[in-house]
Each structure stands twice: as C-alpha cells, then as structure tokens.
Amino acid sequence: MALPVREQFKYWGAAAAIFFLLLFALGDQLLPFFLGAAIAYFLDPVADWLEAHGLSRGAATGIITVTAIVIFVLFVLLIIPNLIEQAVQLFKAAPEIARNISTFLSERFPSLQDESSNVRQYLNGLGQTISERGGALLNSALTSAASLLNIVVLFVIVPVVAVYMLLDWDRMVARVDQLLPRDHAPVIRCLAKEIDQTLAGFIRGMGTVCLILGTYYAIALMSVGLQFGLVVGFVAGLLTFIPYVGALVGGALAIGLALFQFWGEWGWIIAVAVIFMVGQVAEGNILTPKLVGESVGLHPVWLILSLTVFGAIFGFVGMLVAVPMAASLGVLVRFLIGQYQLSLLYTGLSDSADPKAED
C-alpha cells in the first residue's frame, strides 16, 4: 500500500532541504565533483558511440582520456600563455584607452574639456584603477598559494572524478533506477528522460556552440590584427552560454578596441563588426538550430533568473548547477501544470453534460 500523498511530500521535501543545505555548506568542496560529473555527462554519448562500434567501456574511456589529455596539453602550451599575456597588456593599456575615450568625447562634446568634468574625471580614474589593480589582481590570482592549491586540486580531482564516473556511468544510472520507488518509477523515468533531453540539447549543444564561436572570434579578430583579439574571443565564446550576453559584451568590447586601434582606418573597424555579424548569423541560423535544437524548453529569461538566484545563494557552484536545476524545475513545472489541467480543480464540472444547454 502506497504512503499517503502528504507523507510522501514530507519525505521528499526533507530530502530536498537536506540537498540544498549540503550544497550551501559544502559548495566549495563539492565543486570538483560537480565539474567531474558535468564532464562525464558531456562525454557519455561519445563513450556510447565508441561502444556501439565494438569497443568496451574501459577502452572507450581510455581513448577519450588520452585524447582529452593531448588537447589539454596543447591548450596549456599554446593558448593559455598568450591569453594571460594579452590580459596583462589589456590592463596596462587601460589608462591610454581611457584617455583616448576622453579625447574622443571632448572633441565632440566641448563641455567635457573642462578638467573638473565628472565624466572626464571618472574616465581617467577608471583607467588608472584598472591599470593599478587589474594587473595586481591577475598576478595575485595566478601566484597566490591558495589559488595555486585550488587549481592543482581542480586539475587533479576533476579528471579523476570524470574518468571514474564516465567509466561507471551506465552502471550508476541502472543502480539509481533500481532505487526508485516502485509506485512512481514510470513517472520518474519519464520526467528524467525529458530532463536529460533538455540538458543534452542545451549543455552539450551550447557547449559546442561556445567552443566553435570562441575559436572563430579569436582567430578572426587576430587575423585582422586586433590587439587582445584572443581575450575578446575567449570572453565572447564563454559568455555565449548566456543568451545574447556573449554577442553584446564581446561585440562591444571588440568594436570599442577597434575604434581606438584603427581610428581613421574604417575598413578594419568595419571588418571587426562584420566578424561579429557573421558569427551571430551563423549562431542563429546554423549552429544553435543544428546543435541545440528548438525544443530545449529553457527560455532565456528563465535561464538568466536561475543563474542569478543560484549564483547569489550558492556562489560559483550555484551557477554551475543553475542550468540543470532550471531544466529540472522547468520539466517538473510543465508536468505539474499538465496534472493540474487534468484534475477536477481545473476542469470542475464543465465536462458534465448540461441538459438545459443542450435544449
């Protein structure tokens, strides 16, 4: 005999409360495990594909691990040093950029030529602050013992967790399925499948879109000679995960830098703008429809709200779990709405035949 609904609600509510308390209390400690699980989830289709072509799960995991190590080593040797160097140069160039902005505005708005102008003072102070504190912040982040320890922990624990979870992924899913309450197992499986489709479409798809666009922006901007093109491409690609933000921030940053680097050479400025226009056209018409699909079910406003709320409550770990939580909550809300519309609370007696209405 199944437990009453009220009793089940108590148990599931207590389990949810314990989960969020653990997430709040142990967020930093759980970060490597969340990242490892996310990587394993991202790579599970690749392992399944290799298994379907005759390899064992262990062999498939080994091939994926070796390939990932090679890619990571190449990334560390070729990309990260240039990325750090350009970031430091950008901090150092901030005062000059601020002066150029101030001069540009003063030429078109003579009232700003006054040294006591609030706008002029703000720009000068902003450039000096970024120059003084930005480089120091970057250097301290890279040289701090605690930061280095955290980075080492991430680079050691995350790959180990990812490899073990990728190796045992199918067994873990089967074990969880065995532990489902028997009365509700079919409904939970259906909801889990829908959540998986949503996450697969969004995380795997958008992750691939971010990688493609970030690489395209970095190579294209460096090819036209834009300073800090690698940094701009990295930022634009990373922020593409949040709808519209990557294009706005990356485009504004790239065009702003191009205006002061190529001032008077309008062809290069137009080229930078065209690079972002082509990237957005490709994302909207080719990449997102093909890799993400149109039935993901995550509205941009819902996604941004979840990132903001979970990030504010749980910090960086909250931002990592915001997307799966938003997808899960979205599926559950749609399920509850469907159940509500089938219930008497929604339909009332409207479906009953009304003899007077028929006459």
CA distance 213 to 251: 12
Predicted pLDDT at 38: 81
The whole-number average pLDDT for the span 306-315 is: 75
Count of structural domains, the chain: 1
The whole-number average pLDDT for the span 219-225 is: 86
Of 143-147, 191-195, 325-329, the poorest mean pLDDT is in 143-147
CA distance 37 to 41: 6
Q: With bands split at pLDDT 50, 70 and 90, how would you rate the model's confidence at 353?
A: very low
Nearest to 321 by CA among 303, 297, 337, 342: 303
249 pLDDT higher than 60: yes
Side chain identity, residue 143: T
- Residue 50 inside a domain? The answer is yes
227 exposure class (CB count in 10 Å sphere: 0-12, 13-18, 19+): middle
The two structure tokens encoding residue 126: 């902003």
CA distance 301 to 309: 12
Of 135-144, 219-228, 282-291, 301-310, the poorest mean pLDDT is in 135-144
158 pLDDT higher than 50: yes
225 by DSSP, 3-state: which?
coil
CA distance 314 to 20: 9
Q: With bands split at pLDDT 50, 70 and 90, how would you rate the model's confidence at 146?
A: very low
Q: Which domain holds residue 45?
A: 26-179
Q: What is the DSSP string of 21-48?
A: HHHHHSHHHHHHHHHHHHHHHHHHHHHH
Predicted pLDDT at 263: 67
Q: 73-82: long-range contacts (C-beta < 8 A, 24 or more apart)?
A: 79/230, 82/230
Q: What is the rounded radius of gyration, in angstroms, for the C-alpha atoms of the chain?
A: 26
- Residue 120 inside a domain? The answer is yes
Nearest to 84 by CA among 236, 261, 230: 230
- CA dihedral over 146, 152, 157, 159, signed as positive or negative: positive
Percent of the chain with pLDDT over 90: 4
356 by DSSP, 3-state: which?
helix
CA distance 151 to 153: 5
The two structure tokens encoding residue 322: 């915001």
Q: How far does Cα 23 stand from its chain's mean position?
A: 19
- Residue 87 inside a domain? The answer is yes
- Residue 207 inside a domain? The answer is no
45 pLDDT higher than 50: yes
The whole-number average pLDDT for the span 213-239 is: 83
The two structure tokens encoding residue 86: 């350009």
189 pLDDT higher than 70: yes
How much is the mean pLDDT over the chain? 75
- Residue 323 inside a domain? The answer is no
Cα torsion 223, 226, 232, 236 to 10°: value is -60
- Residue 168 inside a domain? The answer is yes
CA distance 53 to 14: 44
Q: What is the pTM of this model?
A: 0.62
193 pLDDT higher than 70: yes
CA distance 75 to 9: 48
Q: What is the DSSP string of 49-111?
A: HHHHTT--HHHHHHHHHHHHHHHHHHHHHHTHHHHHHHHHHHHHHHHHHHHHHHHHHHHH-GG
The whole-number average pLDDT for the span 32-47 is: 84
Of 103-107, 186-190, 288-292, the poorest mean pLDDT is in 103-107
Q: With bands split at pLDDT 50, 70 and 90, how would you rate the model's confidence at 328?
A: confident
Predicted pLDDT at 120: 56
Using alpha carbons, list the distances in angstroms from residue 159 to 44, 155, 356.
Answer: 14, 7, 71
Predicted pLDDT at 307: 76
Indicate the length of the chain as a whole number. 359
- Residue 155 inside a domain? The answer is yes
Predicted pLDDT at 204: 72
CA atoms within 13 A on the CB side of 82: 16
Q: With bands split at pLDDT 50, 70 and 90, how would you rate the model's confidence at 86?
A: low
Of 100-109, 184-193, 336-345, the poorest mean pLDDT is in 100-109
- Residue 33 inside a domain? The answer is yes
Q: With bands split at pLDDT 50, 70 and 90, how would you rate the model's confidence at 50?
A: very high
Predicted pLDDT at 357: 47
